[in-house]
Amino acid sequence: MNEVMARLALLSVSNKTGLIELARQLVEEFEFDLISSGGTAKALQAAGLPVTKVSDYTGSPEILGGRVKTLHPRIHGGILGRRDVAQDVAEMEANQIRPIDLVVVNLYPFEETIAQPDVTLPEAIEQIDIGGPALLRASAKNNAHLTVLCNPSQYNSYLDQLRQHGEQPSLEFRQSCAIQAFSHTAAYDQAIATYLSNLTPSQTSATPSAANEQFTLSGQLLQSLRYGENPHQPATWYQTGTIPTGWTAANKLQGKELSYNNLVDLEAARRIITEFKDSPAAVIIKHTNPCGVALGETLFEAYEKAFHADSVSAFGGIVALNHPIDISTATALIQTFLECVVAPECDPEARAILSAKSKVRVLLLPDFQTGPKQTVNVIAGGLLVQAADDGADTTDNWQVVTEKQPTPDQLEELLFAWKVAKHVKSNAIVVTRHRTTAGIGAGQMNRVGSVKIALEQAGEKAKGGILASDGFFPFDDSVRTAAAAGIEAIVQPGGSLRDKDSIQAANELGLVMVFTGIRHFLH
């Protein structure tokens, strides 16, 4: 092998951020030869940089509309050849294969393509990269002898490594880059598999088909967090997919860095606020449970009602609003200590008011509705995956099981209470009046305890109110307790072997009782 031959770099990128700057440094400072293909070669030529097209280097033209160009022994032999194995070196020399010292590759924009609203399946298929993953995996495998870069953020670090170490970067750096390359291709393949699986309407997103028995989680490190639930727990935030969505796409107007607990609470708030699309709504969250939820004629009214539902618990809470923040709402928000406020938009005048509390995290999330289609729990030795409980609740299939029938207003109040109970930790009891929570019993070990907590918190507000339970009543004691507190109507799933006891008690006490036929446990 010619020892004075220049080092060789293969550049083939879809995302051309930083490409020209990197290539120029490779040529002018480190005297690399460049080989490239397709649009990358054209970009380098347009910048006046010397580059050899892959087709000229291999002696094989690009074929099939560019589908086949880098899949060639002179390319993959130069990547996979081991410089310290005599047979590899001899075979490379015999086949006129130069060792490749640097591979710079990122992949076709598959996720960006499928994110387009009207993308067709053939368009998506054309953005499935074949040569790119093969180059990345081959280069990562042989990191003992070369470096692979798959992200423009790595370019400057690579150049610094060359300046520091000379011929090639440190083994530690090369191994780190290899890990990133394998992670990149794994996430890419997972995005393709997920997209294709979701095209089959008979499959739920949580249930693998016979042909797809793998469930893979992957994410790109977004940032390290100060700590997790507690200061002794390290924590990080990962972005799923290459396109920012959800909280990774939210615009933070002001405030301190988001914490692990902030993000968990914000997601709980997002899930509740999605239940209310039309009327102005406000949700206040503490430790993933709502302490105040309300609808109003205006956003200000909704927030005021939600705040006064439990003003003690609202202190240090997370607020979600489903309409743009206006002046009056912003003025109310700064009257107490809050951790975070999220809304789809914020009026300019309201921004100025909120800035008076500069430490409060204010986020804009235009799309509250789009969330994960699965929930995942990690257990020892495995994962539990289920479809998200994100269906829209309506009264269409509800069954009134008592002699007394609900009025139209009561039915609307029952639906409001039921939607809130869906997002309260089980055992969940929610008492409401006038589309406002009055008392919430969350996470108790028995339903009787949750009923007592909710009714005690509601106090006089329970009179004429509605009670919602996320699970059925196995005995009639809770029905009698609710009636004694002044509750007029109850909504629950039904399904207990002793439903007739609860129905009999409701009829005896003059209550309305509705069965939904569906439960909403939240563990």
pLDDT at 112: 85
163 falls within a domain:
yes
The enclosing domain of 115 has a CATH number of 3.40.50.1380
Residues 188 and 229 in one domain: no
1 or 436: which carries more pLDDT confidence?
436
Which range marks the domain in which residue 471 is found? 399-515
265 or 71: which carries more pLDDT confidence?
265
Confidence of residue 202 (pLDDT cuts 50, 70, 90): very low
∠259-265-270 over CA atoms, to 5°? 125
Residues 47 and 140 in one domain: yes
pLDDT at 253: 96
pTM (two decimals): 0.78
Please write the tens of the pLDDT for every residue from 163-175. 998 888 999 999 9
Please write the tens of the pLDDT for every residue from 229-245. 999 999 999 988 777 88
521 or 111: which carries more pLDDT confidence?
521
Residues 333 and 403 in one domain: no
Known active-site residue 463: no
Residues 230 and 187 in one domain: no
Among 79-93, 139-153, 440-454, name the one with the lowest average pLDDT: 79-93
Confidence of residue 207 (pLDDT cuts 50, 70, 90): low
**Mean pLDDT of the region 58-77:** 79
Q: Which of 338, 364, 390 marks a domain boundary?
A: 364
What dihedral do alpha carbons 503, 509, 512, 517 form, nearest 10°? -20
Residues 443 and 351 in one domain: no
- Whether 79 shows a pLDDT value over 80: the answer reads yes
Confidence of residue 72 (pLDDT cuts 50, 70, 90): confident
Residues 331 and 448 in one domain: no
18 falls within a domain:
yes
What is the identity of the amino acid at 314? A
| CA separation for the pair 293, 219 (Å, rounded) | 33
**Residues whose CB falls within 8 Å of the CB of residue 166, separated by 6 or more in sequence, listed in order:** none
Residues 270 and 345 in one domain: yes
Confidence of residue 211 (pLDDT cuts 50, 70, 90): very low
| CA separation for the pair 294, 281 (Å, rounded) | 6
Residues 324 and 360 in one domain: yes
Question: Which of 175, 183, 108 has the alpha carbon at shortest distance from 148?
Answer: 175
| Number of domains observed in the structure of the chain | 3
160 falls within a domain:
yes
| CA separation for the pair 31, 35 (Å, rounded) | 13
**Mean pLDDT of the region 478-498:** 96
Please write the tens of the pLDDT for every residue from 388-420. 999 999 999 999 999 999 999 999 999 999 999
Q: Distance between the two ends of the chain, CA-based, in angstroms? A: 65
Annotated active-site residue in 141, 256, 404, 434: 141
Structure tokens at 459: 């106090």
**Mean pLDDT of the region 63-73:** 76
- Whether 273 shows a pLDDT value over 90: the answer reads yes
Please write the tens of the pLDDT for every residue from 449-473. 999 999 999 999 999 999 999 999 9
Confidence of residue 495 (pLDDT cuts 50, 70, 90): very high
- Whether 506 shows a pLDDT value over 80: the answer reads yes
Q: Are 363 and 465 in contact (CB under 8 A)?
A: no
Q: Give the H/E segment covering residue 33.
A: strand 33-36
- Whether 3 shows a pLDDT value over 90: the answer reads no
522 falls within a domain:
no
215 falls within a domain:
no
Average pLDDT, the chain: 91
pLDDT at 2: 44
pLDDT at 390: 92
- Whether 1 shows a pLDDT value over 60: the answer reads no
Percent of the chain with pLDDT over 90: 71
- CA diameter of the chain: 98
Dihedral sign of CA atoms 116, 117, 119, 124 in order = positive
pLDDT at 4: 55
Annotated active-site residue in 16, 252, 287, 434: 287
Please write the tens of the pLDDT for every residue from 149-162. 999 999 999 999 99
389 falls within a domain:
no
Structure tokens at 497: 């072997």
| Burial class of residue 210 (count of CB atoms within 10 Å of its CB; 0-12, 13-18, 19+) | exposed
pLDDT at 201: 52
pLDDT at 279: 95
**Mean pLDDT of the region 281-295:** 97
Residues 347 and 443 in one domain: no
Residues 502 and 424 in one domain: yes
Q: Which of 364, 389, 422 marks a domain boundary?
A: 364
The enclosing domain of 254 has a CATH number of 3.40.140.20
Structure tokens at 172: 């530690």
**Residues whose CB falls within 8 Å of the CB of residue 5, separated by 6 or more in sequence, listed in order:** 98
Known active-site residue 141: yes
pLDDT at 200: 58
Q: Are 487 and 512 in contact (CB under 8 A)?
A: no
385 falls within a domain:
no
Residues 188 and 258 in one domain: no
Residues 17 and 145 in one domain: yes
